[in-house]
Structure 1
């Protein structure tokens, strides 16, 4: 939504989206909720209280006391609420929140209390290496990856996407659009045990996304800090060098950065980076990070020799 100059009453949602969420009218039983990240607001609980909207933190007890100001909060959004309108509006004004992407949306024929109990089952999951970790499904990118990863996993779709005989629809915002993930009513049924660990397809997508984000930062840093060294090398080629480094064991971000910079220097001198590795003493006894620094040292020395 824009600032809607000359429109009254102001709309909280685009008409086409309102028709999707409330096809039979907003009084027909289906409700819209948001799970908002308090870390992206100044005093979110106070804002929700001032709006007069039903809300509840997904953390409780000591976790709520310690982390309430950066925790996920569930809020029921009324069709004409100022908060819903601000969440869906983009402008330079600080209270318009579209670009902030502060949470995700859920709608279905359920109560806030039932949805709160349901979502609390998933705030933590078992890590692949053991122990517990927070599953930040209230982050738009994380939820999108999760829903893509479980699209063919009936157990997870049922456990996460339904409450009794009520299917849920999840919505995330992108730069210029929204994405809807509607769980089929066929997934509904008797409640089953909450899955303890995210399925492998979701973990794989998250690893891919995390690495893609790193590579975007990598290119920005290289071009800002070492413009001469990477001049003439395309973004795609820098990504390929990063992937090459990953395949060769440089998977720590700083080690991968050093590898790509070393490879860029070798392209300038026409040297073989693999040959440099063979020339470094005790190569096989060095850590991944130490290897990357040694490669960078040799590559820089070679550039100095050539020049």
Structure 2
């Protein structure tokens, strides 16, 4: 019988929870084996018995070789090796990795077909205003043309709060030629009439598709005033409006796994784009959103404009007869992390845009990565609000443009007992004063 040795291995493993989310961990494992081939076989068998999968083995060393490489006392490895000598193996603690960059279950196949359509709405100079196209022809075809499926309807879910900011008043009551239904019920529907989300049946018939003069006024108003303003998202469904409304109501208020309730503004296309991209490989969540059950789905596709309105994105469910929705949805910590990442990326983009608008010459040759780096630096230094981050990035931009040392100003500010917002204002003003001195040639 060949002699067995005790080995220490550090492994990257993955494991799926009851919600179907794949989580990744690192774990230290002590295991008895004859050689490294025997060790790897035993590690795979051990992982299978523990309901996780080994994705990679960072290292495997004999326990003494492992300890010799370290310049500290590795109590955990010694304890695991002792347990392994008695029982054949020992498992350390699972330590979660924080890789959320590629979405939930990023190594699983996507359950959605995601198509993008450029929006290039151009006027025809040969036609009068009343004959001008009210929508980009390609976008009209994607959203409204159901000639291949006569049962399919187009619905629009509107955020009344965002819409009212553009119209300055609640105007949905003016369009009495369209079926409209609030997603709030009872007294709440009346109390929050001007803030509620509303579902509208905006399906167009063949005559309306072919003749611009027959298009309802609402459609013209929406695509001329509200497209690109993040006021709603579209759905394709063969089901009646009341059934779709009941389905969408389930997502307005969602609790987390600790029982806290949150309002989910999924009818903002910016939020929905990010969310669908994140969950496209998560069977349980996709099945719930699309109402997939026994080979059918309540929602065929969800369509959202992008940040600028220059792109239409269609998220269409790939036919999968194994998807079945059930139970209530609870927002997981992974999803909250995605929303936080989205908000952070959104804030960075806003700051970059504002700086480019305010200082076009200074930012002309500046890369997107540079703005992102400044934002990350500012956040690390405690400038967490958009206003404070703008002030920090402005200061970094001016220091680089005019070649002065920003650390001197920061050292002065570190001695001030003020809030971060007040400190950012001081940073902005101090930088502005420094720019004036340097550009005037003064060294005072």
Give yes or no for TM over 0.5.
Answer: yes
Shift of 1:122: 0.8
Offset from partner CA, 1:104-137 (integer Å, 9 cap, x none): 1111222212211111111123479985443222
User: Would you say 1:250 and 2:383 are equivalent positions?
Assistant: yes
Check conservation: 2:160, 2:170, Cα contact below 8 A.
Answer: yes
Larger relative strand fraction: 2
Q: Could you say what secondary structure the match of 1:59 adopts?
A: coil
Q: Could you say what secondary structure the match of 1:69 adopts?
A: coil
Alignment partner of 1:57 out of 160, 182, 198: 182
Q: Could you say what secondary structure the match of 2:382 adopts?
A: coil
Alignment partner of 1:121 out of 224, 236, 250: 250
* Pair 1:73–1:243, CA change in 2 (3 A): same
Shift of 1:153: 1.7
1:86 matched residue in structure 2 = 219
Larger radius of gyration: 2
Quick one: distance in 1 between partners of 2:398 and 2:134?
56
Q: Could you say what secondary structure the match of 1:306 adopts?
A: coil
* Pair 1:185–1:232, CA change in 2 (3 A): closer
* Pair 1:202–1:157, CA change in 2 (3 A): farther
Larger relative helix fraction: 1
> Which blocks of at least 5 consecutive residues in structure 2 are unaligned?
1-120, 209-214
Quick one: distance in 2 between partners of 1:110 and 1:23?
17
Quick one: distance in 2 between partners of 1:64 and 1:37?
14
Check conservation: 1:3, 1:90, Cα contact below 8 A.
Answer: no
Shift of 1:150: 0.9
Quick one: distance in 2 between partners of 1:215 and 1:256?
8
Check conservation: 2:391, 2:425, Cα contact below 8 A.
Answer: yes
2:173 matched residue in structure 1 = 46
Quick one: distance in 2 between partners of 1:231 and 1:201?
31
Check conservation: 1:262, 1:273, Cα contact below 8 A.
Answer: yes
| TM norm structure 2 | 0.54
Check conservation: 2:155, 2:235, Cα contact below 8 A.
Answer: yes
> What is the RMSD computed on CA atoms of the aligned residues?
4.0
1:278 matched residue in structure 2 = 411
* Pair 1:270–1:137, CA change in 2 (3 A): same
* Pair 1:252–1:223, CA change in 2 (3 A): same
